[in-house]
Structure 1
Amino acid sequence: MVREVVPMSAVTTDPDDAEVARRFAAGDEQALALAYERWAGQVHGMAVRAFGPGPDAEDVTQQTFVSAWTGRAGYSAAAGPLPAWLVGICRHKIADNWAKLERQRRSAEAVAADARSAAAPTGGDGLAGAVADRVLLLGELNRIGQPQRRIIELAFFEDLTHAQIAARTGIPLGTVKSHIRRTLERLRDRLEVDGAALRS
């Protein structure tokens, strides 16, 4: 009796997209891995178009899949295919991250404004105050090493965004942000001390 030989490929065939989606919605972790393998590139591509290559795009990609997995009960195959649902989540994550970056930019500007205000001596005309402000600021910048000084100059004198600074300097975006935050905090503290000395 001759037995029929089943090709190995027929046994190990990957599930189709609909099956991955069904298993994903049911909480199958292998389906999560398959979904990431199939559609992470598309999600990451959207994030790169929004933020450029780097940690922000990687964060959005990760956030998209984490959010999809934790919220999988909200997915319905009847409403559309799983990759389309992932794209929708990615759009929300991109919008959330743009809002977060805008808040960080405003916060950095507020810190810089506070530092300038603290450094400005009371009394005298506005020009004298502005000159003293600039002298103090430049003096503090002279104490800062590279690349922090260059990053601050690009951010506040050339008005570049964090992403533009990263592209121009070749420094990772996350490093640019942390340099700006730490440098501004240090500048604020120093300028508050110097400004208080000027006013006394």
Structure 2
Amino acid sequence: MASERDEFADLVERIARHRDREAFGRLFDHFTPRLEAYLIRLGSDAGSAEELAQEAMVTLWRKAALFDRTKSSVGTWLYRIARNRRIDAHRRNRDAALDPEEPLLQPSAPEDADEIIDARRREDKIRVALAVLPPEQIELVRLAFYSGLSHSQIAEQSGLPLGTVKSRIRLAFSRLRKALEDDGLTEF
């Protein structure tokens, strides 16, 4: 096998130095079907595998002078080139599949300054209203709305009965609604 490895490296050297078509033909005939099979094992369809294997061989022709027999075998070098071509093709296809007009890819419209100010005022009023709640109600509201826990998860975490959790949260909302309505904030 070592002699075959040296023979392939000699063929690449002939391509690099003399643009030897016969040497290229021998390498092409030997490696192209192997590269195609390798690419198919990696998940490429037969047509893509054939195209990518040919691209790898064209790279061999163009960049034969870059091959270094002390760093790898010709086969290892070609398999690496083929694998990289496959990765590049996959990236191109994935990027091409994105529709630049897709609404999700469009920047959102800037928020209206009045809406930003109104939202901040609303947040400030809610913060003030929360501050007047008893600590046990504040904690349950925090767990429900800031941590996103369900009533049963809160009951489990806090050790309180489920009915107590529900009634405290309901009472907290009643107090918050009243405080916010007194401040003229009806959206809650």
TM-score normalised by L of structure 2: 0.46
Larger radius of gyration: 2
